Structure 1
Amino acid sequence: MSMRKLRLAGALVVLLLSGNGVMAQQFKDGKLWLNEDGTNYFKMTLHSQFWIRNTEMNPGSTINGYPKNNFTDIGIRRARVQAFGQVADRVFLYSHFGINNFNYGADRKPSFFVHDITGEYEIVRKHLWLGTGLAGWNGLTRFSGPSTATIMGLDIPLFELTTFEATDQFLRKFSLYAKGKFGKFDYRVIMSNPMSVQKSNGYSAAISEISNFSPKPPKMQWHGYFQWQFLDQESNATPYATGTYLGSKRVFNIGAGFQYQPEAMWHKGAGSDTVTTDMRQFAVDAYYDAPVNKHTGTALSAYAAFVNLDYGPGYLRNLAVMNPANGTTMPNIINGSGNGYPTFGTGNVVYAQLGYKLKNNLIGTTTLMPYASVQHASYERLDKPMTFWDLGLNWLLKGHTSKLTFAYQNRPVFETRTPGANAQLTSHKGSYILQYQVFLN
């Protein structure tokens, strides 16, 4: 989008606000105030994350038919724009646009697409909001709705986006939701209309003994997340939970959630009968983020979750973030090509992440924040647990506004050596990633 178009868009917003009898009083704290006390406002944010990466490829990986064991690429992991605000008493508008995973192998001239567009009305002050639209409001866990601009490491726990790009659009669904607070109790309850699984990449309606999403017209999905916020209260204006506050708040929450969709899955049973099963998922998690020493600026951030995923017998699905490969000569490698690994599956998952922000002005006016995270999953079709870990260092040039992250990610490789048997753990592969983030909030 050209600078001229951006200016025109900004002028149009002001004209629309003025035309509705609402004249902005001032611009403060990144918000365009629509009344004198700022309770009605409009705001825009932008953030982008740029990667340069070296990847050890999964066995058999090819790029345009050429075998590759190792590959270096540069890409845009995320580029996002949010436009939202309390545009009238009791009325909240939220919109979110962007691109994801744009690298050398992607289609050229990508278009910003709609991530979210929702409207909400406050039924009972502070206690009950009702909203609808294409929404990132999800149940199950804290990071089923993550703020990607404030995450501690390179990525959120992606397995917590349990229907990611299968029956949703980058975790968003057409939803009707209720949210609110009662003191320290924060809740969200959602009814979603899953998107057609036939539109997901690589979907096949072929049925086997292994569970998969059913191609039948989907029934409504029900999900919710409930948490007790012991210390400082967090905002629930948008669906996206902060990754780390870098010591600016004292937060300790314990949460629990669920996700349920009747007859979401199917597989072939005894005698080749078609068996339809429900998708059931449950989770508990805890989040702590607080200063250690307010005087020096040190801070601790920690998160842990236990998640039970039931997609039906043997369900297993890979995820390959901004995959540098597009083919494989070894279909017996469960991971698929490039940097893929079994992210989702029927079984239990334990996840943990920990980070420590060092003192302010450690390097000039900047500081460092090392972190580590691990996903340890026991999935039905694997002979050993799937353990994916990530170790990194943030250089906080200006908090989340300007941040450089260097990380190493390690993933296991599983191979099917005997037909019908569980896949065997055969090796581990890694990726080195350097990310630069810019965030205008």
Structure 2
Amino acid sequence: MKINLSPDGSKYMRLMLWTQVYTRYTENNTGTLRGPSRPKASQIDFGIRRSRMVLLAQLNPRFLVYTHLGINNQNAVGGGVVPTADGKKPQFFIHEAVTEFKVNQYLSLGAGMHYFNGISRLTNASTTSIMTMDLPLTNFPTIELTDQFARWIGIYAKGRIAKFDYRVSMSDAFLTNLASTPLSLGATSGGVSTGTGIANYNPQNSNHVYQGYFSYNFFEAEPNLFPYTQGTYLGTKKVFSVGAGFLHNKDAMYSRATSSVVAVTPAVNADPFSTVATRKHDMNLFGVDAFYDVPLDTASRTAITLYGVYYKFNMGPNYVRFVGAENPGYGTVATRGNAVPQSGTGSSEYVQAGYLMPKNTLGPKARLQPYVAYLHSSYEGLRAGNERKGVNIVDVGANLLLDGHNAKVTLNYRHRPDFTNVNAVKYRPELTLQTQVFL
């Protein structure tokens, strides 16, 4: 929704609103609670996956300001004031608040709470044009830890030179994992703490986060006013983009080796950061990807969308993190509800494919776009004995496009691994109906 403030439209204000609502059946991971001492094997639940707004103003062709606000992941169990135990009154918070200056046609500089990420195209994804029902979340390895919901406070530069697009940023790492101490990196028995050899986020991290993503478009150029990359153009553009990105944060993680043995005394308890030695680990995250989205037949308006990405994550020894989007499980157990291994030290490959069917398949207005997606991850911290246990997630679904991305309904089936017992991984079904309206 755009309001022109000058006759030629060069000065304007713009408002964007969107909401995504889930109706979902989930077979929960083993041991999931739905409330205090209330086990629940499965349920049908409802939730708000995202409800957001963006306010943008450009009063001079060289200056841009925008603010992005909203909520995420609210259901009857979580997402509220106490996210892991209360679904009520979710925090309506700032996702982005950016000021930007256009230096020339090749370079723009900005500052604030920004979404100019590195690693991959999906780490910069628009949530309004996702082809699959949702993102795999592996594309956001630091979400809500050293960042604020995949956003950062810092500065960035972006631009395009011919067919080459770039974005780089330098940001502060948010203080995180503040309850952790070197003793938390060990197991205590009989007054002796022994290191586990498992890394975690370093609560003393005060180093900058450096990111970059670089891509080359072989066909048409993509819009770059906003940081958000398109999930599918629904046959309106011909795009073939290859890219690569990174994130580097010095001493972001810390750990204690299994050879670290410390007698727990009052002096150690008083200041374990000074008395217990730890190892610091740089966080280095890399990605390389390709996006192919082209119309196939102009008469029937069919189109194909293909995307693939390879991630290499170094987050310290044996680190693994579990995440479940809009988790239906109660409490703080990492493997509750629909949680899966989302990130960790190791590698991931993710691919998706979609086909926009002929325009009259469902009549003159609605369009149908079936898709499939597959994620495979291998993390050194997920082992049965000496053997790594791979993470395999399959999504199959379809978009019913009533007005493109502005009004659509998505039905998605997920085949999800339950890692409650790494020695006996089971697979659970998850069926979700999502409605989206975007203005």
**Deviation of residue 362 (structure 1)?**
1.9
Partner of 1:228: 216
Q: In the alignment, does 2:121 pair up with 1:122? A: no
How far apart, in 2, do the equivalents of 1:361 and 1:397 lie?
A: 13
8 A Cα contact 2:177 2:201, kept in partner: no
Letter matched to residue 97 of structure 1: L
* Matched residue SS, 1:160: coil
Partner of 1:255: 243
**Deviation of residue 425 (structure 1)?**
4.3
**Deviation of residue 399 (structure 1)?**
0.8
8 A Cα contact 1:56 1:430, kept in partner: yes
Partner of 2:269: none
Partner of 1:369: 369
8 A Cα contact 1:49 1:437, kept in partner: yes
How far apart, in 2, do the equivalents of 1:141 and 1:209 lie?
A: 29
**Deviation of residue 236 (structure 1)?**
1.1
Residues 6-405 of structure 1 aligned to structure 2 (within 5 Å): 30-64=1-35, 65-106=37-78, 107=80, 108-123=88-103, 125-198=104-177, 204-205=180-181, 206-207=184-185, 208-269=196-257, 270-272=259-261, 273-327=277-331, 336-364=335-363, 365-382=365-382, 383-405=388-410
- Change in Cα spacing, 1:111 to 1:264, as seen in structure 2 (3 Å) is closer
How far apart, in 1, do the equivalents of 2:284 and 2:205 lie?
A: 18
Question: Could you tell which deviates more after superposition, 231-240 or 106-115?
Answer: 106-115
Unaligned stretches of 5+ residues in structure 1: 1-29, 417-422
8 A Cα contact 1:184 1:233, kept in partner: yes
* Matched residue SS, 1:424: coil
**Deviation of residue 111 (structure 1)?**
4.0
* Matched residue SS, 1:197: coil
Letter matched to residue 17 of structure 2: L
8 A Cα contact 2:205 2:251, kept in partner: no
Count of residues in correspondence between the two structures: 396
Partner of 1:14: none
Identity %: 39
How far apart, in 2, do the equivalents of 1:372 and 1:363 lie?
A: 20
Question: What TM-score do the two structures reach when normalised by structure 2?
Answer: 0.87
Alpha carbon RMSD of aligned pairs, Å?
1.5
* Matched residue SS, 1:373: strand
**Deviation of residue 415 (structure 1)?**
4.2
Unaligned stretches of 5+ residues in structure 2: 81-87, 186-195, 262-276, 383-387
Partner of 1:432: 431
8 A Cα contact 1:412 1:425, kept in partner: no
Letter matched to residue 41 of structure 1: Y
Question: Could you tell which deviates more after superposition, 381-390 or 281-290?
Answer: 381-390
Runs of 4+ in 1 over 3 A off after TM superposition: 270-273
